[in-house]
Amino acid sequence: MHRTRSLGSIVFLDLRDRAGVLQATCDPRFTPLDVIAVAGRLGAETVVEVDGVVAVRPAEMVNRELVTGTIELQVTALRIVGPAVTPAIPVARGKDEKLAAEELRLKHRILDLRRPELQANLILRHRLLQVARQLMTSHGFLEIETPILTKTTPEGARDYLVPSRVHPGEFYALPQSPQIYKQLLMVAGFDRYFQIARCFRDEDLRADRQPEFAQIDIECAFVTQEDVQVVVERVLTALWKEAGHDIATPFERIRWADAMERFGIDKPDLRYGFELENWTAHVQPDAASFVLDGVAAGGKLRGIRVANGATWSRKEVDALAAVAKAQGLGGLLWAKRTDAGWEGQGAKAFGAATMERIGGVSGDLLLAGVGADAVALPAMGQVRLELTRRPEHLPTIAHAFCWIVDFPLFELDAASGEHMPAHHPFTAPHPDDTHKLETAPWECRAMHYDAVYNGNELGSGSIRITDPAVQETIFRLLKVPADEIQRRFAFLLDGLAAGAPPHGGFALGFDRIAMLLAGSTSLRDVIAFPKTTAARALFEGAPSPVSERDLAALSLAVLVKEKS
Ligand code: ASP
């Protein structure tokens, strides 16, 4: 029972199920009086069974806003089958009534799930899952489930561990992805695999991440990178079609190094311009010494041109400068071009000769940063992102997909100062760089590709290492001790030594795709029972302490008892 309304002796019930709302009318002309009396007192969210006759509504009662607005159910009998306590949060809301606070809604998730918006999201999610399954099946892929209680599968996060009761002191790990298993399935001869896989990653709190999530996980043997990309493009085309959008393939392929140069980020939002420009060669001797010194030290001058930005206030430009500085850039230079010429601290720092070479037309705002690529490119990339978010900058297209290819094989982890795999340690080095694996490993590119949509990373994939010796080299470069390689990865290395076909694959973040296609901005809107950003399930109350007895059965003791 969504809501009731009384009009004299008539009671209108809005009944709701997953298909929508239907008006049931209790009228003394066809409804027994005792039924009307019960109907008048029904509390919201009570579950009822109603008998009646579906009838066309009188013309003056037609409700154009409701799909069922031309009909009503003329009630003859009504039974309360599921009485409801007063709901903690409203399900039926007035037009302008705001949603309750999210924490409260997560706590009362079943009520929130009754909201038509969330019902529509989960119905869409179901349809997308079926489309993915059909598409993969029609291309000859087999859906094969891999274990949840397993061994570590590194994807750059911490493992969730599950203690074994029967083997005290031993632990299973929940899979960060089915990566190793899907590779071993290739070795086992199932040359096309997919799975709607559950993955678990214990990461520090991050907005828009869920500790457990679903991905459309794919692996195939005897393929090139291009083959995998074609399959993924087909899946994405089918998913977007299901949500009512036609998209064009093939997607643009952009090399990682070019994406960084042009957009300062490896997941560029191609719906917008504002490409970064390299103005280093324009720098003339009359530039300020910090510009000259920066360039002499190997830094580059990276700039962005904003047409009609010359009218921006100082405050608006300062806000962009704050974004750049937060990324580690010393400062953001700016210059405005008016009919009177160039003005701004950037114009002074560059000097007339440099400005002349950079050029520009009246109305332009130029933004720039000097520095090493590792700092200046991402910082200017963030500035670009801010520009795309301004309301006057409308996207030129709705759906901008691309592939980012030729990623570096390793990246430097700022926190530890160590090299880490840019993807995961099973990614094959680029064939043109394999010879550098021993001499200059950190310069190697990888057979790793990401699919990007409107600035969102939809997924990653790679061609895999199939030579056990190369795999061992990678572990060694990552400083995994020999005994640990044996302990953690012997089953993979043995598998690769058993005759491994060349293979590669991909994983699409399914929750994110469902969120984007539902037009939502939170993963929690497309997951039935999600966790908060603090990895808590508020509805069921997990994680939760366990009793001393349960711990003892697992041969475990908790050292820290205070609640965090
Ligand atoms: N296992 C990878 C991931 O979860 C995807 C892949 O390489 O296929 O990101």
Long-range contacts of range 146-149, CB-CB < 8 Å, 24 or more positions apart? 146/175, 146/178, 146/181, 146/182, 146/185, 146/195, 146/197, 147/175, 147/181, 148/174, 148/175, 148/198, 149/174
Provide the pLDDT for residue 564.
52
Per the CB < 8 A criterion, the answer to whether 193 and 182 are in contact is: yes
How many whole angstroms from 219 Cα to the centroid of ligand 1?
A: 9
pTM of the model: 0.94
What is the CA(197)–ligand 1 centre distance, in A?
11
Compute the distance from residue 506 Cα to the ligand 1 centre, in Å. Answer: 6
Regarding the beta carbon of 179 and ligand 1, being less than 6 Å apart is answered: yes
With a 6 Å cutoff on the Cβ, whether 504 touches ligand 1 is no
pLDDT confidence of residue 367: 97
Q: How far apart are CA 218 and CA 17, in angstroms?
A: 36
Q: Which of 446, 447, 458, 451 is nearest to 402 (CA)?
A: 451
252-255 and 401-405 beta bridge pairing: parallel
Cα of 136 from ligand 1 centre, angstroms? 17
- Measure Cα distances from 545 to 56, 268, 538, 549, 559 in Å: 57, 43, 14, 12, 12
427 CA: nearest ligand 1 atom? 7
Q: Which of 517-548 are b and which e, b meaning 16 or more Cβ less than 10 Å from the residue's Cβ?
A: bbebeebbbbbeebbebebbbbbeeeeeeeee
- The DSSP letter of residue 279 is -
Å from CA of 215 to ligand 1 middle = 9
Given a contact cutoff of 8 angstroms between Cβ atoms, the answer to whether 556 and 550 are in contact is no
Residues facing 80 on adjacent strands: 48
Cα of 293 vs its chain's centroid, Å: 40
CB hemisphere CA count around 500 (13 angstroms): 23
What DSSP element (H or E) covers 55?
strand 47-56
pLDDT (0 to 100) of residue 494: 96
| Closest by CA position to 44, among listed 78, 105, 91 | 91
Give me the pLDDT at residue 206, please. Answer: 75
Number of H helices and E strands in the chain, helices first, is 15, 22
What distance in angstroms lies between residue 300's CA and the mean position of ligand 1's atoms? 34
Give the H/E segment covering residue 305.
strand 300-306
Amino acid at residue number 282? H
The answer to whether 274 touches 354, Cβ cutoff 8 Å, is: no
The protein residue with its alpha carbon nearest to ligand 1, atom 1, reads 179
Q: From atom 5 of ligand 1, which residue's Cα is the shortest distance away?
A: 507
Which residue among 141, 146, 155 is best mutated to probe the pocket of ligand 1, counting the most ligand atoms within 8 A of its Cβ? Answer: 155
Asked whether 354 lines ligand 1 (CB < 6 A), one says: no
In the reported structure, the alpha carbon of residue 133 is separated from the centroid of ligand 1 by a whole-number distance in angstroms of 18
Residue ID of nearest Cα to ligand 1 atom 8: 506
Q: Is the CB of 450 under 6 A from ligand 1?
A: no
Which atom of ligand 1 approaches the CA of 462 most closely? 7
Q: How far does residue 93's CA lie from ligand 1's centre (Å)?
A: 41
**pLDDT value of residue 563:** 60
Rounded to the nearest angstrom, the distance between the alpha carbon of 380 and the centre of ligand 1 is 29
pLDDT reported for residue 562:
65
Give me 390's structure tokens.
């301004």
Please list the alpha-helical segments (H only) found in 432-564: 468-477, 482-497, 510-517, 548-553
Q: Is the CB of 155 under 6 A from ligand 1?
A: yes
Measured from the Cβ of residue 473, the count of other Cβ atoms closer than 10 Å reads: 16
Provide the pLDDT for residue 561.
Answer: 67
- Give me the residues of the chain with pLDDT under 50, please: none
Per-residue pLDDT at 94: 84
Asked if residue 183 has its Cβ within 6 Å of ligand 1, the reply is no
Q: Is 507 in the pocket of ligand 1 (CB under 6 A)?
A: yes
